[in-house]
Structure 1
Amino acid sequence: MAGVIKKFFVASLFMWVAPITILYGFNHQLFPGSTQLSSYSQTLLSGFLAVISFNMVIAFYICMAMKEPSDRHEPDPAFLAEAKSSISQSTPCESGDSSQAREKQE
């Protein structure tokens, strides 16, 4: 369980850090060639790359979650047996009781 939580926090951290780093880098001309772009083009490109980086982090996290082994997550056998027995028990029919109550009222 600790591994799953650790992966979640790391992915959440990268969901914030990657787009903000890209936006900061473009706004402060840290990336080569970004000074040659107009302000409008620079804003569009940095926003587009920030959104792409965010989606890549989500896709990576989904891939990691799908690789988790599913055989470890088995329900408790005692719980399953109790659930099956509670389903198989029949409940008393209330329709006969309600018809008798109507006859008494009349």
Structure 2
Amino acid sequence: MAAGLTKKFFIASMLMWIAPLAILCAFNHNLLPGVMNLFPHAMTLVSGFVAVISVNIVIVFYIYMAMKEPTDKHEPDLKFLTYAKASVNQSAGEGPTSVESVKKHE
């Protein structure tokens, strides 16, 4: 399970680096049709906008993949939740005995 999530995160992270760089290189080396007709200033602006849009597309795709994950597959660790709740209670001013009482219950 964790390996699949790590793989998806790694792929999305690499795409967020590769896609904009590939787009900028394609614009700078006139690999896209019609780019040679643009003024240099316009070409810089268009290539930047398209690169930013490509990163946003990758982010939307990654969010879509995350939302497709089954929710019943992930169950929180009860020990972690207990310590987290005790930590929140302790920082809220209920005293230092909250974490100690959790340890006593175990």
By the TM > 0.5 criterion, same fold?
A: yes
Partner of 2:61: 60
Q: What does the per-residue CA deviation read over 1:11-39, in whole Å, with 9 as the maximum and x for residues that have no partner?
A: 00100010000001101111111000000
- Alpha-carbon RMSD across the aligned residues, in angstroms, is 1.9
C-alpha change, 1:28 and 1:76, in structure 2 (3 Å) is closer
SS in 2 for 1:30: coil
More helix by share: 2
Greater relative contact order (CA < 8 Å, ≥ 6 in sequence):
1
Equivalences for residues 22-33 of structure 1 within 5 A: 22-33=23-34
Deviation, structure 1 residue 76 = 5.0
> For each residue in 1:43-97, what CA deviation from the matched residue of structure 2 results, as whole angstroms up to 9, or x when unmatched?
00000000000000001001100111110112356x49x78xx9xxxxxxxxxxx
Q: Equivalent pairs: percent with the same residue?
A: 57
Which residue of structure 2 aligns with residue 69 of structure 1?
A: 70
Please identify the structure whose Cα radius of gyration is greater.
Answer: 1
Amino acid aligned to 1:19: P
Q: Distance in 2 between matches of 1:9 and 1:47?
A: 24
Name the CA distance, whole Å, in 1 between partners of 2:22 and 2:69.
30
Separation (CA, whole Å) in 1 of partners of 2:15 and 2:74: 27
Letter in 1 for 2:56: N
